[in-house]
Amino acid sequence: MDFNLPEELQLLKETVRKFVDRELIPIERECRPEGEDMPEQFIKPLQEKAKAIGLWLLDVPQEYGGAGLDLMTRCVIMEEVARTVAIPFRYAPIFGPEVRPVLFHCNEEQKQRFLFPVIRGEKRICFAQTEPDAGSDPAGMKTRAVRDGDHYVINGTKRFITGAKTADYAQVIAVTDPQKGARGGVSCFVVDMKAPGVTLERLWPTMMGDTPGQIFFDNVRVPAADMIGGEGQGFSIAQKWIEEGRIRGHGARPVGIASRALDMMIEYSKVRTTFGQPLANRQAIQFMIADSAMELHACRLMVYECAWRHDRGEDIRQLSYMTKIQCAEMAGRVVDRSIQVHGGLGLMRELPLEWWYRQVRSIRITEGTPEVLRWRLAQHIIKNHKG
């Protein structure tokens, strides 16, 4: 059993770290996106530099012009990129347009209309699953899609949809068979945001700085040809992508954030003097550093194992729950400790700590709360326990 990253991933990790240290961290005071976009004067040069080192369209298959990286590799990249606050929190536009992986399930005709325009940066698409009464419990969604000839008629509301205000299309997850529910009764549709009956009802400004939207669908007629996958496949398609997100976005990203927060904590403890001694000599501070290092180490191993097993084709649902819970809560503690060690300076926007403090708080809510995931995990453990 080898706990080291393969040599090629170690080299990639070093390359991305140098890119972050040289190109992104130096511009943090000028560029700290509160929303979903970066200023053009920053993003274009950074995209060219990212392309030059082969970091472009990371999860897009090579046949479509992307890098086609596996999840393990993308987690290594995300861990390093998360060490900076110079790019939006939700995704990394420096690596190209965001292509929601649900689009990879398009048929050939749909790829021409939806996938390729998104890859080329001509169109934007958002993912609409969460509802007012169906967040951590997506199986409880109420948005309905009823067949009517060669169309489906969609009615319902989707809330907290990232990117809704700039999207040309929405990937809408809707119930097509209430009797089957999540087991074959939920489908996925691509819906034109300008279609009759589609209303962006409101935006929800968050403490993280982004503004997800609320979309209302009122008798929206969607061609049956715009369904992604077969009828009833929408839930499984969506959950597969969300599962990957738990590992990469809610696992590797918190690890990267905590890594730099710990570095900052250690460096500051060495130079800040109180009562004649540096903070690094104080046992209370030493314990904060030790606890952070231990928790970070454990979470990094969980992320790597989870991604590795995913790439081997194993069922990692339960392990992804563990990974999201541990990493999200760990990053919150480490960033909080780093702020405490920095004292008043830690509260200032001069440092990236306050930005992370707001962002990591959201991770404990999005894509499954720890309370719900613990409950589902416990159900699985108890059911499969052999005494």
**Residue-range domain boundaries for the chain:** 7-99, 124-228, 236-384
Catalytic residue among 34, 98, 367, 371: 367
Would the pTM of this model clear 0.75, i.e. be above it?
Answer: yes
Rounded Cα–Cα distance for residues 250 and 317 (Å): 14
Q: Mind listing the pLDDT tens digit for each residue in 285-333?
A: 999 999 999 999 999 999 999 999 999 999 999 999 999 999 999 999 9
Residues 6+ apart with CB under 8 A from 219: 153, 154, 155, 197
Rounded Cα–Cα distance for residues 305 and 303 (Å): 6
25 CB burial (10 A radius; 0-12, 13-18, 19+): middle
Residues in the chain where the model's pLDDT stays below 70:
36, 135-136
Looking at the chain, how many residues does it have?
A: 387
Q: What is the mean pLDDT of the chain?
A: 94
Query: Tell me, what's the pLDDT at 34?
Result: 82
Query: Tell me, what's the pLDDT at 37?
Result: 76
Query: Is residue 367 annotated as part of the catalytic site, yes or no?
Result: yes
| Fold agreement between 7-99 and 124-228 | no
Query: Tell me, what's the pLDDT at 136?
Result: 67
- Give the residue among 73, 50, 76, 66 at the shortest CA–CA distance from 98: 66
- Give the residue among 180, 161, 183 at the shortest CA–CA distance from 170: 161
Rounded Cα–Cα distance for residues 156 and 234 (Å): 16
Residues 6+ apart with CB under 8 A from 108: none
Fold of 124-228: Butyryl-CoA Dehydrogenase, subunit A; domain 2 (2.40.110)
Is the domain 236-384 a CATH 2.40.30.10 member? no
Domain at 7-99, CATH from 3.40.640.10, 1.10.10.10, 1.10.540.10, 2.60.40.10: 1.10.540.10
313 CB burial (10 A radius; 0-12, 13-18, 19+): exposed
Contact at 8 Å (CB) between 204 and 160?
A: yes
